[in-house]
Amino acid sequence: MSIVSDNMKYLRKLHGMTQDQFARRLGIKRASVGAYEEQRANPNIDVLKLMSKLFNVSVDDLLKKDLRKIRETPNLLPIDKPAVTPLVAEPAATGGPQTLSSIFEQYYTPPAAAPRSQPAPTPPAAPAAPVIEAPKPPAPVAVPPVVVAYQAPTFNNKYDNSNGATMVQMPSAEYEKTSPQMIPYVRQSQWKEYIEKHNNNDYIKRLPVFQWPLLPNGAYRAFEAGDDFAYPHAFLIGQFIGNWYDIADGRTYLLVARNLGVVCRRVYNQVKIKGTLLLSSDKNTIPTFEVPLKDVLEVWEIKAFFSTVLPEPTVSLDHLRHLVNQMQEELNQIKK
């Protein structure tokens, strides 16, 4: 029964079923389906009836017709697919042959003439709306930046006590208090230029600066120390003193004076007596002398200093006495 085997395999593949799915639809084992398709066994009448109902094919067609020739079985449809009604009905059978013109007249319908479209009337043009120009924004007014001019601090070195008159105190000098974090500094090689331009604002603003965050608010400046300080080439940080009568006796100041330069001294205020400042050094080799107040250009009270040179160790007298005693004991032992 090769025809029924081929039809069974063809119908199963036509509906996209595997042998296992096909066997479950028929209620048989998958091995039986394989045996039927490979012609190792023949399906019984019950299986043929189930296939006939499943695929909408008669048992006679399953046994006798090769369903692979689908044109010979136009009613063969996949499962769950409704039958399609022909679009054009078959002509009724007549007793004789029909002419070509009669067949053409039967099926051909001439197209209806399309009505000629009338052009739509053009509406009258609306009057153009007047063009209103947007108002122009006012031109920006250039505002010059506000520049606060830097004013270098000025020391009050004026004193009038002529003819025994009472001393006239000047008002406190005005100066800009800058942040102590940014401190201008002056090296020894710049001293001469600094004395000439100490009150030049542009020059002061061009001085190099460094940061020192440990000082309170005030006007500060740093100067490289000379040989009159205990640590040469250290930087002395001074706070500006605006008036001569604010100079306290015995404190260490850094003075900028004509014909003197930049010096670090302990100062004693003698302005009310002689109109001078007495300058004393902590070094015994430097003599004490007086400087007229009118020659003093700036006064800075030393608040801090820093140096890259460490101090030399000092010899203790007790240590020297101990060394002498040791040497005396060693000499006594040698004599014995």
Helical spans, DSSP H, in the chain? 2-14, 19-26, 30-37, 45-55, 59-64, 100-107, 191-197, 201-205, 317-335
Which residue did the predictor score with more confidence, 208 or 136?
Answer: 208
Q: Are 53 and 185 part of one and the same domain?
A: no
Q: pLDDT tier at 289 (50, 70, 90 boundaries)?
A: very high
Task: Look at residue 60 and tell me whether its pLDDT is greater than 60.
Answer: yes
Q: 235: pLDDT confidence band, cut at 50, 70 and 90?
A: very high
Question: How much is the average pLDDT of 300-305?
Answer: 94
**pLDDT, greater one: 105 or 294:** 294
Q: Are strands 251-257 and 296-306 parallel, antiparallel or unpaired?
A: antiparallel
Packed helices 30-37 and 2-14: angle between N→C axes, nearest 10 degrees: 120
Q: Are residues 300 and 187 part of one domain? A: yes
In a domain, 321, yes or no: no
- Looking up residue 255, the CATH number of its domain turns out to be 2.10.109.10
Domain stops at, among 26, 51, 72: 72
- Please list the residues that pair with 224 across neighbouring strands: 235
Q: Is residue 194 part of a domain?
A: yes
Whether residue 62 is found in the same domain as residue 188: no
Q: What is the mean pLDDT of residues 55-70?
A: 82
- One domain, residues 67 and 178: no
Tell me, what's the pLDDT at 296?
94
pLDDT digits (tens, 9 = 90+) for 8-40: 888 888 888 998 988 888 889 888 888 888 888
For residue 147, count CB atoms less than 10 angstroms from its CB and return exposed for 0-12, middle for 13-18, buried for 19 or more. exposed
Tell me, what's the pLDDT at 7? 83
Query: Rounded to whole angstroms, how far apart are CA atoms 204 and 207?
Result: 5
120: enclosing H helix or E strand: none
88 lies in some domain: no
Residue 283, domain extent: 162-306
Classify residue 120: in a domain, yes or no: no
Token pair for 222: 């740093």
Does 174 lie in the same domain as 55?
Answer: no
| pLDDT exceeds 70 at position 284 | yes
Residue 319 lies in a domain: no
- The pLDDT tens digits of the residues spanning 78-98 come to 555 554 444 334 444 445 555
Number of separate domains in the chain: 2
Could you say which of 27, 42, 72 is where a domain stops?
72
Name the domain boundary from 51, 72, 93. Answer: 72
| Most confident by average pLDDT, 53-67, 139-153, 199-213 | 199-213
What percent helix, strand, coil does the chain show, rounded to 5? Answer: 30, 15, 55
Q: Is residue 186 part of a domain?
A: yes
Q: Give the model's pLDDT for residue 164.
A: 46
125 falls in which pLDDT band (50, 70, 90)?
A: low
CATH code of 35's domain: 1.10.260.40
pLDDT at 157: 79
